């Protein structure tokens, strides 16, 4: 695991954006796995700035998002599809037909999960997967207890995850109870992983990710098995790792 310690959110955004931009420049046909949440927002802003200034092109890249809520349409401002359009896709030159999401509005969700998995494979897998981390160690929406061999699947969100994400909704009752997410095995198959973490609310999670037992009770711990993970985090998120080193 490579650790890049940054001093603040601004630096995290620049460092992370640079990694993604370099990847796209090196391979203009790259398949990138995108994450949502608060953490990568600034990274996407930097990518937009760079696209405007330096004309980095995303025309031929393919995107696969990690997860989506069940029941929210792309027009719903709380859907992850809406988030990605608003915060990145509508500002760069990615082609609409190259954007992929698990569709949480399909009647047959099981089939949708299988199709999503097949579609990732058809494009040769994910070259670079961007990840955030939940306080309970979830990656994507893989909650504690998710089997390490899981593929894209339907999950019931834990009360703590619904609570953490309630800030984006009118009330906790509006937060969907289920989501579709790439599985742990899907994420692990990515050729490279870039995990971003910021602030003291992630301290414990980063500590367990890096030094804890590899255990399904803490999904992110599986990343210890991946050959190419880069963690970009600030000193607060890394404080326990530094203290126990
Ligand atoms: C959500 C997303 C995750 C994300 C996590 C942390 O649950 N499904 O992909 O990593 O939140 O979000 P934040 O970056 O806002 O802390």
Per-10-residue mean pLDDT of the chain, 245 residues long, equals 95 98 98 96 98 98 98 96 98 98 97 98 97 95 96 94 91 96 98 97 96 96 98 95 80
Place of tokens 């937060």: 175
**R_g of the chain, CA atoms, integer Å:** 17
For atom 11 of ligand 1, which residue has the closest CA?
A: 37
For atom 9 of ligand 1, which residue has the closest CA?
A: 140
| Residues sharing a CB contact under 8 Å with residue 122, sequence separation 6 or more, in sequence order | none
Report the pLDDT value the prediction gives residue 241, as an integer from 0 to 100: 86
Residue 139 alpha carbon to ligand 1 centre in Å: 8
For atom 12 of ligand 1, which residue has the closest CA?
A: 37
| Residues sharing a CB contact under 8 Å with residue 227, sequence separation 6 or more, in sequence order | none
Q: Are 140 and 66 within 8 A, CB to CB?
A: yes
Q: Please count the other Cβ atoms lying within 10 Å of the Cβ belonging to residue 132.
A: 21
Q: Please count the other Cβ atoms lying within 10 Å of the Cβ belonging to residue 225.
A: 10
| Residues sharing a CB contact under 8 Å with residue 16, sequence separation 6 or more, in sequence order | 40, 43, 46, 130, 194, 196, 232
- The first and second tokens of residue 30, run together, are 């790259």
Report the pLDDT value the prediction gives residue 62, as an integer from 0 to 100: 98
For atom 10 of ligand 1, which residue has the closest CA?
A: 132
Ligand 1: residues whose CB is within 6 Å?
35-39, 66-67, 132-134, 140-141, 161, 165
C-alpha distances (whole Å) from 99 to each of 65, 140, 203 are 8, 17, 33
Pocket test for ligand 1, best of 64, 78, 133, 175 (most atoms within 8 A of CB): 133
Q: Are 138 and 144 within 8 A, CB to CB?
A: yes
Report the pLDDT value the prediction gives residue 242, as an integer from 0 to 100: 82
Residue 197 alpha carbon to ligand 1 centre in Å: 10
Report the pLDDT value the prediction gives residue 120, as an integer from 0 to 100: 98
Report the pLDDT value the prediction gives residue 42, as an integer from 0 to 100: 97
What does residue 181 show for φ and ψ, rounded to 5 degrees? -145, 145
Report the pLDDT value the prediction gives residue 124, as an integer from 0 to 100: 95
Would you call 3 helix, strand, or coil by DSSP? strand
Ligand 1 closest atom vs CA 161: 7
Report the pLDDT value the prediction gives residue 127, as an integer from 0 to 100: 98
Spatial separation of the C-alpha atoms in residues 126 and 191, rounded to whole Å: 6
List the beta bridge partners of residue 131.
195
Residue 54 alpha carbon to ligand 1 centre in Å: 29
Report the pLDDT value the prediction gives residue 244, as an integer from 0 to 100: 79
Residue 133 alpha carbon to ligand 1 centre in Å: 6
- Enumerate the active-site residues: 67, 136, 138, 143
What does residue 127 show for φ and ψ, rounded to 5 degrees? -80, -40
Residue 111 alpha carbon to ligand 1 centre in Å: 25
Ligand 1 closest atom vs CA 39: 14
Instruction: State how beta strands 128-131 and 31-34 pair.
Output: parallel
Cα–chain-centroid distance for residue 164?
16
């Amino acid at each position: 695991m490579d650790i890049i310690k940054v001093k603040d959110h601004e630096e995290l955004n620049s460092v992370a954006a640079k990694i993604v931009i370099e990847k796209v420049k090196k391979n203009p046909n790259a398949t990138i796995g995108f994450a949502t949440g608060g953490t990568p927002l600034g990274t996407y802003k930097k990518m937009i700035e760079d696209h405007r200034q330096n004309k980095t092109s995303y025309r031929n890249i393919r995107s696969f998002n990690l997860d989506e809520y069940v029941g929210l349409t792309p027009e719903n401002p709380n859907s992850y599809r809406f988030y990605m359009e608003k915060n990145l896709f509508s500002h760069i030159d990615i082609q609409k037909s190259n954007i992929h999401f698990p569709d949480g509005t399909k009647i047959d969700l099981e089939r949708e999960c299988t199709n999503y998995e097949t579609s990732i494979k058809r494009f040769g897998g994910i070259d670079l997967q961007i990840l955030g981390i939940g306080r309970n160690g979830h990656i994507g929406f893989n909650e504690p207890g998710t089997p390490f061999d899981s593929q894209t699947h339907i999950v019931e969100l834990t009360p703590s995850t619904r609570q953490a994400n309630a800030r984006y909704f009118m009330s906790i009752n509006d937060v969907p109870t289920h989501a579709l997410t790439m599985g742990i095995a899907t994420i692990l198959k990515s050729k490279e992983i870039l995990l971003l973490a910021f602030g003291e609310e992630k301290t414990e999670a980063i500590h367990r990710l890096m030094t804890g037992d590899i255990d399904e009770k803490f999904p992110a711990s599986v990343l210890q098995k991946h050959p190419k993970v880069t963690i970009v985090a600030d000193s607060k998120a890394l404080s326990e790792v530094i203290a126990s080193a």
